[in-house]
Amino acid sequence: IIGRAGVGVDNIDLEAATQKGIIVVNSPEGNTIAAAEHTIAMMMTLARQIPLADASMKKKEWKRSDFMGFEMSSKTLGVVGLGKIGTRVGKASLALGMKVLAYDPFVNEEMAKKLGFELVGLEEIWKRSDVITFHVPKTKETANLLNAETIKKCKKGVRIINCARGGIVDEAALAEGIKSGQVGGAAFDVFSEEPVNPSNPLLDLGNKVVLTPHLGASTEEAQLNVALDVAEQIRDVLSGGLARSAVNLP
């Protein structure tokens, strides 16, 4: 058995493990709260330019007029992926006074309606959202989901948040979109290459981006939760029982 103390298993060769009869387990729920809270924090940080204002104050400056922000209330949030994290982010955004559009091919309209979300297709997400946040795994279908073509379909000035998996957004295309003004800004916690390549174009965009080094699950509570969850599953499997979250078993 291989245990991944977290959600993503893209650092494990699932095919090879399956061929050798090795069960791969993860902990899909242990860091849900941490990841959702980090997404909201990134969204608000981008909206109010907090890192820049903080850096300016620590230089003993007082430049209020340099840090004009934008309000989340009355804006439309597009949530791509309504798993546990995407759902929690959407619910928190409703509390901020946002309208929430959601895309998830595995969720029905009735369920979305109960949550207070409007279930739409991806084309509607691009077209209507003021802010777009991604909460899907990295797969062949989701790789570069937001790219040069789809960025053109977005509202001018859209803000992009990615705290899910690197590679869901084409970073080079996003950088060009920010430079042209089509995209108003971005907040990223995950990157196509980690640690981030120094040549990554997002690193050179100054106050248009907020970047963190994959901190979504970096809370004391989340780290304890995922470690316990995976340890318990390994114990159960090696004792002849079943895993709760086996990634490569039906």
- From the list 128, 214, 232, 244, the catalytic residue is 214
Rounded CA separation 98/179 (Å): 27
User: Is 165 an active-site residue?
Assistant: yes
Q: Which of 61, 194, 221, 235 is catalytic?
A: 194
Q: How many CA atoms lie within 13 A of 20 on its CB side?
A: 10
Q: Where are the beta strands (DSSP E) in the chain?
A: 2-3, 24-25, 76-80, 99-103, 118-119, 131-134, 158-162, 183-188, 209-211
Respond yes or no: is residue 194 known to be catalytic. Answer: yes
Q: How far is CA 101 from the centre of its chain?
A: 16
Candidates 88, 135, 159, 165; catalytic one: 165
The answer to whether 141 is a known catalytic residue is no
Q: By the 8 A CB rule, do 101 and 117 touch?
A: yes
Cα(97)–Cα(101) distance, integer angstroms? 13
Q: Which residues are catalytic?
A: 165, 194, 214
